Amino acid sequence: MSTPSTFQERKREVTRLQELVYELRVRDAMTTPVITVTPQTTMAEFREVLRANRISGTPVVEGGQMVGIISIEDLIKALAAGELGATVGEKMTPRPVTLYDDEPLVHAVGKFASLGYGRFPVINRQGDLVGILVQGDIVRTLLRQLEVEYHEEEIRRYRASHIFEDILADQVTLRFRYQVPGGDFERAGEASSRLKKTLSRLGIHPRIVRRVAIAAYEAEMNIVIYTDGGELIAEVDPEKVYLQAVDDGPGIPDIQRAMEPGFSTAPDWVREMGFGAGMGLPNIQSCADEMHLESTVGVGTRLEVVIYLDSGGRPCGG
């Protein structure tokens, strides 16, 4: 069922829509080939073009060059003035605002909103007219893409659940353990890298894999920066990934402060490497569906993160 049933799911779908307008291009939504008229076409002929093709406007082309745009609004004005014998050249809007075919759709959304036009001709970077875009095209494309992704997701879910179905047991949990050496900046991230690959191979949704990978990597960096070493343990069952980052020293004196964005005790050499800005734990939290952190000074720290496999669409922090 693709109908979102809870507020959380609706929110996820809205976030996904916001991402899609950045990811999709104008060419993914435009209508092509584009129907055109010439400046010499009469308004009466133009009316027939609109009716026969069930469209509301066309670019005006002369000698291979786009010289204007004409719409049903222009036709209505000509009708009211009894000027159906006039030519398109007299009634068109010259030098129309265009979109590039490789622009992200979000640019088109912005232009529709700010300029109030009903349609934009689409050109390529060489200046050739390649299509036309109306507002309805955008909505239709977004809905179609969501549907495609929904089907892809169903297939992925099948793959992820497949391995569990092939193993005969009342309950199956796969457990992966990775050693993380402390202080070894050169190799920091290898454990998370291997975990990411493993989860991808299991067929888990790429967005889930990305969230687990980011949480694991931030946790791994904390182990490398602040401790003498520890381990990452990921347990995967048909519902969730349960990630633990465990070390035995030195512990976090004030967990509440450690969770504050921007709070950091990192030494300068760590900051010079682009880490230690106090965003690690907040980042982990924004990727996690559930997070638990416990620490005892002089004993060690245990971070637990749960990410549900069906929490698909949302990005970290989304």
Partner 1 sequence: MKLREVLQLIDGKVLTRNTDLDLEVRMGCGADLMSDVLAFTHEGTLLMSGLTNPQVVRTAEMAGIQAIVFVRGKIPPPETIALAEEKGIALLASKYTMFETCGRLYKAGLPSCGLFESSLKRWREFFGEE
The strand ranges marked E within 182-308 are 229-236, 240-247, 290-296, 300-308
Sign of CA dihedral 141, 146, 151, 155: positive
Q: What's the min distance (Å) between Cβ of 307 and partner 1?
A: 14
Does 265 help bind partner 1 (rule: CB under 8 A)? no
Any idea what the Cα angle at residue 236 is, between residues 312 and 234, rounded to 5°?
105
CB of 282 to partner 1, least distance (A): 8
Within 147-206, the residues that bind partner 1 by CB under 8 A are 185-186, 188-189, 192-193, 196, 206
**Percentages helix, strand, coil for the chain, rounded to the nearest 5?**
45, 25, 35
Neighbouring C-beta atoms of residue 119, cutoff 10 Å:
21
Q: Lay out the site mask for partner 1 across 87-106 (x = CB under 8 A, - = otherwise).
A: -------------x-xxx-x
Which one of 47-55, 114-122, 282-290, 303-311 is the stretch in contact with partner 1 (CB under 8 A)?
Answer: 282-290
Q: Under the criterion CB under 8 A, does residue 146 sit at the interface with partner 1?
A: no
Pairing outcome for strands 93-94 and 65-71: antiparallel
Q: Least distance in Å: CB of 86 to partner 1?
A: 37
State in angstroms the smallest separation of the CB of 104 from partner 1.
5
Residue 123 neighbours by CB distance under 10 Å: 18
- Binding site residues, partner 1, CB under 8 A: 15, 18-19, 22-23, 100, 102-104, 106-107, 185-186, 188-189, 192-193, 196, 206, 210, 213-214, 216-218, 261, 273-275, 277, 279-280, 282-283, 286, 315-318
